[in-house]
Structure 1
Amino acid sequence: MSEFISPDDPAHDDRARALVRIGHEAIAVANDALLDEYFAEDFAFHGPAGDMTYPQLRAFFASMRAAFEGFSCERRTLVSEGDYISARTSMAGRFTAPFDASPLGTLPPTGKPMRLELINVFRYRDDGRLAEEWVQYDNLAFLRQLGVDLVPR
Protein backbone atom coordinates (compact mmCIF):
# COMPACT_ATOMS: atom_id res chain seq x y z
CA MET A 1 0.00 0.00 0.00
CA SER A 2 1.36 3.43 -0.98
CA GLU A 3 1.92 6.09 1.66
CA PHE A 4 0.31 8.60 -0.74
CA ILE A 5 -3.31 9.04 -1.81
CA SER A 6 -4.25 8.10 -5.37
CA PRO A 7 -6.29 10.57 -7.43
CA ASP A 8 -8.73 7.71 -8.02
CA ASP A 9 -9.19 6.72 -4.36
CA PRO A 10 -12.96 6.22 -3.86
CA ALA A 11 -12.59 6.92 -0.12
CA HIS A 12 -12.36 10.63 -0.97
CA ASP A 13 -14.88 13.01 -2.53
CA ASP A 14 -14.49 14.54 -6.02
CA ARG A 15 -12.97 17.79 -4.73
CA ALA A 16 -10.34 15.92 -2.67
CA ARG A 17 -9.45 13.66 -5.61
CA ALA A 18 -9.11 16.76 -7.82
CA LEU A 19 -6.66 18.22 -5.28
CA VAL A 20 -4.53 15.07 -5.48
CA ARG A 21 -4.75 15.13 -9.29
CA ILE A 22 -3.68 18.80 -9.58
CA GLY A 23 -0.57 17.95 -7.58
CA HIS A 24 0.34 15.18 -10.01
CA GLU A 25 -0.74 16.78 -13.28
CA ALA A 26 0.00 20.50 -12.90
CA ILE A 27 2.22 21.20 -9.88
CA ALA A 28 4.75 18.36 -10.24
CA VAL A 29 4.83 18.89 -14.02
CA ALA A 30 4.34 22.11 -15.96
CA ASN A 31 0.69 22.48 -16.95
CA ASP A 32 -0.28 26.12 -16.51
CA ALA A 33 -3.56 25.64 -18.40
CA LEU A 34 -4.74 23.10 -15.80
CA LEU A 35 -3.56 25.35 -12.96
CA ASP A 36 -5.41 28.31 -14.49
CA GLU A 37 -8.65 26.29 -14.53
CA TYR A 38 -8.17 25.08 -10.95
CA PHE A 39 -7.13 28.31 -9.20
CA ALA A 40 -9.41 31.34 -8.90
CA GLU A 41 -8.00 34.52 -10.47
CA ASP A 42 -8.03 36.24 -7.06
CA PHE A 43 -6.51 33.24 -5.24
CA ALA A 44 -4.60 34.14 -2.04
CA PHE A 45 -1.79 32.06 -0.54
CA HIS A 46 -0.74 32.48 3.11
CA GLY A 47 2.52 30.79 4.09
CA PRO A 48 5.53 31.01 6.41
CA ALA A 49 7.39 33.39 4.07
CA GLY A 50 4.34 35.65 3.59
CA ASP A 51 1.41 35.97 1.22
CA MET A 52 1.45 35.29 -2.52
CA THR A 53 -0.91 35.81 -5.42
CA TYR A 54 -1.74 33.03 -7.85
CA PRO A 55 0.88 34.21 -10.44
CA GLN A 56 3.51 34.28 -7.69
CA LEU A 57 2.60 30.78 -6.52
CA ARG A 58 2.66 29.46 -10.09
CA ALA A 59 6.18 30.95 -10.50
CA PHE A 60 7.19 29.28 -7.21
CA PHE A 61 6.02 25.90 -8.55
CA ALA A 62 8.07 26.49 -11.72
CA SER A 63 11.15 27.26 -9.59
CA MET A 64 10.66 24.04 -7.64
CA ARG A 65 10.36 21.97 -10.83
CA ALA A 66 13.48 23.63 -12.28
CA ALA A 67 15.63 23.07 -9.17
CA PHE A 68 14.48 19.62 -8.05
CA GLU A 69 14.88 16.74 -10.49
CA GLY A 70 11.99 14.26 -10.27
CA PHE A 71 9.89 16.84 -8.44
CA SER A 72 6.67 15.43 -6.94
CA CYS A 73 3.66 16.78 -5.10
CA GLU A 74 1.79 14.09 -3.16
CA ARG A 75 -1.00 14.08 -0.58
CA ARG A 76 -0.86 11.81 2.48
CA THR A 77 -3.97 12.78 4.41
CA LEU A 78 -7.13 14.62 3.33
CA VAL A 79 -10.03 15.87 5.42
CA SER A 80 -12.84 17.47 3.44
CA GLU A 81 -15.74 19.42 4.93
CA GLY A 82 -17.89 21.98 3.14
CA ASP A 83 -15.76 24.54 1.28
CA TYR A 84 -12.53 23.36 2.96
CA ILE A 85 -9.99 20.59 2.56
CA SER A 86 -7.10 20.03 4.94
CA ALA A 87 -4.11 18.04 3.73
CA ARG A 88 -0.72 16.69 4.63
CA THR A 89 1.36 17.31 1.52
CA SER A 90 4.81 16.08 0.59
CA MET A 91 6.93 17.76 -2.09
CA ALA A 92 10.20 16.06 -3.01
CA GLY A 93 12.99 15.87 -5.55
CA ARG A 94 16.77 15.87 -5.96
CA PHE A 95 18.38 19.33 -5.70
CA THR A 96 20.21 19.42 -9.07
CA ALA A 97 19.88 23.04 -10.31
CA PRO A 98 19.95 26.49 -8.69
CA PHE A 99 16.85 27.28 -6.62
CA ASP A 100 15.87 30.92 -7.09
CA ALA A 101 12.78 30.99 -4.85
CA SER A 102 14.33 30.53 -1.43
CA PRO A 103 13.81 33.24 1.20
CA LEU A 104 17.60 33.76 1.07
CA GLY A 105 17.86 34.23 -2.71
CA THR A 106 19.31 31.78 -5.21
CA LEU A 107 20.89 28.68 -3.68
CA PRO A 108 23.37 26.40 -5.49
CA PRO A 109 22.42 22.74 -5.95
CA THR A 110 23.75 20.10 -3.58
CA GLY A 111 22.74 17.00 -5.54
CA LYS A 112 20.99 15.73 -2.42
CA PRO A 113 17.35 14.70 -2.02
CA MET A 114 14.84 17.18 -0.60
CA ARG A 115 11.49 16.43 1.00
CA LEU A 116 9.26 19.27 2.16
CA GLU A 117 6.36 18.27 4.43
CA LEU A 118 3.46 20.73 4.56
CA ILE A 119 0.16 21.11 6.36
CA ASN A 120 -2.39 22.86 4.11
CA VAL A 121 -5.90 24.20 4.50
CA PHE A 122 -7.64 24.97 1.20
CA ARG A 123 -10.82 27.02 0.74
CA TYR A 124 -12.91 26.63 -2.43
CA ARG A 125 -15.40 28.98 -4.06
CA ASP A 126 -18.96 27.92 -4.88
CA ASP A 127 -17.89 27.31 -8.51
CA GLY A 128 -15.32 24.75 -7.31
CA ARG A 129 -12.18 26.82 -7.95
CA LEU A 130 -9.49 27.14 -5.29
CA ALA A 131 -9.84 30.54 -3.60
CA GLU A 132 -7.40 30.50 -0.69
CA GLU A 133 -4.71 28.37 0.93
CA TRP A 134 -2.97 28.47 4.30
CA VAL A 135 0.30 26.51 4.57
CA GLN A 136 2.63 25.66 7.43
CA TYR A 137 6.03 23.99 7.13
CA ASP A 138 9.41 24.05 8.82
CA ASN A 139 11.30 26.62 6.74
CA LEU A 140 14.50 26.10 8.76
CA ALA A 141 14.51 22.33 8.12
CA PHE A 142 13.78 23.00 4.42
CA LEU A 143 16.74 25.39 4.15
CA ARG A 144 19.00 22.87 5.92
CA GLN A 145 18.08 20.28 3.29
CA LEU A 146 19.17 22.83 0.68
CA GLY A 147 22.59 23.19 2.30
CA VAL A 148 21.92 26.31 4.41
CA ASP A 149 22.49 26.16 8.15
CA LEU A 150 21.35 29.40 9.80
CA VAL A 151 21.36 28.03 13.33
CA PRO A 152 24.06 25.63 14.53
CA ARG A 153 22.64 22.35 15.78
Structure 2
Amino acid sequence: MSEFISPDDTRYDERARALVRIGREAIAVADDEKLDAYFAADFAFHGPDGDMTYPQLRSFFAAMRAAFEGFACERRSIVSQGAFIGCRTSMSGRFTAPFEASPVGTIEPNGQSMRLELINIFRYDDDGRLAEEWVQYDNLGFFRQLGVDLTETP
Protein backbone atom coordinates (compact mmCIF):
# COMPACT_ATOMS: atom_id res chain seq x y z
CA MET A 1 0.00 0.00 0.00
CA SER A 2 1.36 3.42 -1.01
CA GLU A 3 1.81 6.18 1.55
CA PHE A 4 0.09 8.52 -0.93
CA ILE A 5 -3.49 8.65 -2.16
CA SER A 6 -4.19 7.49 -5.71
CA PRO A 7 -6.42 9.65 -7.93
CA ASP A 8 -8.36 6.44 -8.65
CA ASP A 9 -9.09 5.62 -4.98
CA THR A 10 -12.90 5.47 -4.80
CA ARG A 11 -12.88 5.83 -1.01
CA TYR A 12 -12.56 9.56 -1.77
CA ASP A 13 -15.12 11.78 -3.52
CA GLU A 14 -14.45 13.24 -6.98
CA ARG A 15 -13.36 16.63 -5.58
CA ALA A 16 -10.72 14.93 -3.41
CA ARG A 17 -9.50 12.76 -6.30
CA ALA A 18 -9.25 15.90 -8.48
CA LEU A 19 -7.06 17.48 -5.78
CA VAL A 20 -4.73 14.46 -5.97
CA ARG A 21 -4.63 14.71 -9.78
CA ILE A 22 -3.89 18.45 -9.86
CA GLY A 23 -0.92 17.90 -7.51
CA ARG A 24 0.52 15.22 -9.77
CA GLU A 25 -0.46 16.58 -13.18
CA ALA A 26 -0.18 20.37 -12.94
CA ILE A 27 1.79 21.31 -9.81
CA ALA A 28 4.57 18.69 -9.89
CA VAL A 29 4.82 19.13 -13.68
CA ALA A 30 4.09 22.30 -15.63
CA ASP A 31 0.53 22.43 -16.97
CA ASP A 32 -0.78 25.97 -16.63
CA GLU A 33 -3.88 25.13 -18.68
CA LYS A 34 -4.98 22.55 -16.08
CA LEU A 35 -4.08 24.92 -13.24
CA ASP A 36 -6.04 27.78 -14.83
CA ALA A 37 -9.12 25.53 -15.13
CA TYR A 38 -8.78 24.31 -11.52
CA PHE A 39 -8.17 27.63 -9.71
CA ALA A 40 -10.73 30.44 -9.47
CA ALA A 41 -9.54 33.71 -11.01
CA ASP A 42 -9.80 35.47 -7.62
CA PHE A 43 -8.11 32.62 -5.69
CA ALA A 44 -6.49 33.65 -2.40
CA PHE A 45 -3.64 31.78 -0.67
CA HIS A 46 -2.89 32.25 3.04
CA GLY A 47 0.44 30.81 4.23
CA PRO A 48 3.24 31.20 6.76
CA ASP A 49 5.01 33.81 4.62
CA GLY A 50 1.86 35.84 3.86
CA ASP A 51 -0.87 35.89 1.25
CA MET A 52 -0.52 35.23 -2.48
CA THR A 53 -2.73 35.58 -5.51
CA TYR A 54 -3.18 32.75 -8.01
CA PRO A 55 -0.52 34.14 -10.43
CA GLN A 56 1.94 34.42 -7.52
CA LEU A 57 1.22 30.84 -6.41
CA ARG A 58 1.61 29.57 -9.98
CA SER A 59 5.04 31.29 -10.10
CA PHE A 60 5.92 29.66 -6.78
CA PHE A 61 5.09 26.22 -8.21
CA ALA A 62 7.32 26.97 -11.21
CA ALA A 63 10.18 27.99 -8.88
CA MET A 64 9.77 24.73 -6.93
CA ARG A 65 9.88 22.66 -10.13
CA ALA A 66 12.98 24.58 -11.31
CA ALA A 67 14.88 24.16 -8.02
CA PHE A 68 13.95 20.59 -7.06
CA GLU A 69 14.78 17.75 -9.43
CA GLY A 70 12.06 15.11 -9.42
CA PHE A 71 9.65 17.54 -7.75
CA ALA A 72 6.51 15.80 -6.48
CA CYS A 73 3.27 17.00 -4.90
CA GLU A 74 1.37 14.14 -3.25
CA ARG A 75 -1.57 13.88 -0.87
CA ARG A 76 -1.37 11.70 2.26
CA SER A 77 -4.82 12.08 3.77
CA ILE A 78 -7.94 13.98 2.80
CA VAL A 79 -11.15 14.90 4.60
CA SER A 80 -13.80 16.35 2.32
CA GLN A 81 -17.01 18.03 3.47
CA GLY A 82 -19.15 20.37 1.43
CA ALA A 83 -17.10 23.20 -0.06
CA PHE A 84 -14.01 22.35 2.05
CA ILE A 85 -11.20 19.81 1.93
CA GLY A 86 -8.66 19.31 4.70
CA CYS A 87 -5.48 17.61 3.53
CA ARG A 88 -1.95 16.53 4.39
CA THR A 89 0.33 17.27 1.45
CA SER A 90 3.91 16.19 0.85
CA MET A 91 6.19 18.06 -1.55
CA SER A 92 9.61 16.62 -2.29
CA GLY A 93 12.58 16.67 -4.62
CA ARG A 94 16.36 16.99 -4.75
CA PHE A 95 17.68 20.55 -4.41
CA THR A 96 19.75 20.92 -7.60
CA ALA A 97 19.18 24.50 -8.83
CA PRO A 98 18.81 27.92 -7.15
CA PHE A 99 15.50 28.40 -5.31
CA GLU A 100 14.34 31.90 -6.20
CA ALA A 101 10.97 31.99 -4.41
CA SER A 102 12.29 32.10 -0.87
CA PRO A 103 11.26 34.92 1.50
CA VAL A 104 14.95 35.17 2.49
CA GLY A 105 16.20 35.61 -1.08
CA THR A 106 17.72 33.17 -3.57
CA ILE A 107 19.05 29.99 -1.96
CA GLU A 108 21.85 28.08 -3.69
CA PRO A 109 21.37 24.32 -4.10
CA ASN A 110 22.97 21.80 -1.76
CA GLY A 111 22.17 18.64 -3.77
CA GLN A 112 20.22 17.16 -0.87
CA SER A 113 16.73 15.72 -0.87
CA MET A 114 13.99 17.77 0.73
CA ARG A 115 10.52 16.85 1.90
CA LEU A 116 8.06 19.55 2.88
CA GLU A 117 4.99 18.38 4.81
CA LEU A 118 1.98 20.71 4.70
CA ILE A 119 -1.43 20.89 6.33
CA ASN A 120 -3.94 22.48 3.93
CA ILE A 121 -7.53 23.60 4.09
CA PHE A 122 -9.06 24.27 0.66
CA ARG A 123 -12.33 26.08 -0.09
CA TYR A 124 -14.09 25.63 -3.42
CA ASP A 125 -16.50 28.12 -5.02
CA ASP A 126 -20.00 27.38 -6.36
CA ASP A 127 -18.50 26.48 -9.75
CA GLY A 128 -16.26 23.82 -8.15
CA ARG A 129 -13.04 25.79 -8.64
CA LEU A 130 -10.45 26.25 -5.90
CA ALA A 131 -11.21 29.66 -4.36
CA GLU A 132 -9.08 29.82 -1.22
CA GLU A 133 -6.36 27.90 0.61
CA TRP A 134 -4.88 28.07 4.08
CA VAL A 135 -1.61 26.21 4.60
CA GLN A 136 0.77 25.62 7.48
CA TYR A 137 4.20 24.01 7.42
CA ASP A 138 7.48 24.06 9.31
CA ASN A 139 9.25 26.93 7.53
CA LEU A 140 12.35 26.66 9.74
CA GLY A 141 12.66 22.93 9.07
CA PHE A 142 12.24 23.55 5.34
CA PHE A 143 15.06 26.13 5.33
CA ARG A 144 17.31 23.79 7.32
CA GLN A 145 16.81 21.11 4.64
CA LEU A 146 17.91 23.68 2.05
CA GLY A 147 21.07 24.41 4.03
CA VAL A 148 20.01 27.85 5.27
CA ASP A 149 21.26 28.87 8.71
CA LEU A 150 18.75 31.35 10.12
CA THR A 151 20.51 31.84 13.44
CA GLU A 152 21.99 35.23 14.08
CA THR A 153 25.75 35.47 14.43
CA PRO A 154 27.22 37.65 17.19
TM-score when scaled to structure 2? Answer: 0.98
**Cα displacement (A) at 1:92:** 0.1
Counting only pairs closer than 5 Å after superposition, residues 22-33 of structure 1 correspond to structure 2 as 22-33=22-33
Does residue 143 (structure 1) correspond to residue 154 (structure 2)? The answer is no
In the TM superposition, what are the counterparts of 1:1-153 in structure 2 within 5 Å? Answer: 1-151=1-151
Give 1:126 deviation, angstroms. Answer: 1.0
More strand by proportion, 1 or 2?
1
**2:67 partner letter:** A
Partner of 1:141, secondary structure, is helix
**SS of the counterpart of 1:110?**
coil
The Cα of 1:151 is off from its aligned counterpart by 3.3
SS in 1 for 2:111: coil
Aligned AA for 1:83? Answer: A
Counterparts of 1:72 and 1:151 in 2: how far apart (Å)?
29
SS in 1 for 2:106: strand
Amino acid at match of 2:2: S
> 2 CA distance for matches of 1:147 and 1:139?
13
**Structure 2 CA distance for aligned equivalents of residues 9 and 103 of structure 1:** 36
**Structure 2 CA distance for aligned equivalents of residues 92 and 102 of structure 1:** 16
CA deviation vs aligned residue, 1:90-115 (integer Å, no higher than 9, x gap): 00000000000111110000000000
Instruction: Indicate the RMSD between aligned Cα atoms, in angstroms.
Output: 0.8
TM-score, normalised on structure 1?
A: 0.98
Q: Distance in 1 between matches of 2:151 and 2:46?
A: 25
Aligned residues: 152
Q: List structure 1 segments (4+ residues) > 4 angstroms apart after TM superposition.
A: none
Distance in structure 2 (CA, Å) of the matches to 1:63 and 1:148? 17
The amino acid across from 1:106 in the alignment is T
Structure 1, unmatched stretches of 5+, are none
Distance, in Å, in 2 between the alignment partners of 1:91 and 1:4 is: 11
Query: Any stretches of 5+ residues in structure 2 without a counterpart?
Result: none
SS at match of 1:101: coil
> What is the CA–CA distance in structure 1 between the aligned matches of 2:121 and 2:151, rounded to whole Å?
29
Give the residue type in structure 2 aligned to 1:121: I
Distance (Å, rounded) in 1 between the aligned partners of 2:97 and 2:151: 24
Deviation digits for residues 1-40 of structure 1 (CA, Å, limit 9, x no counterpart): 0000000100000000000000000000000000000000
Separation in 2, partners of 1:26, 1:113? 21
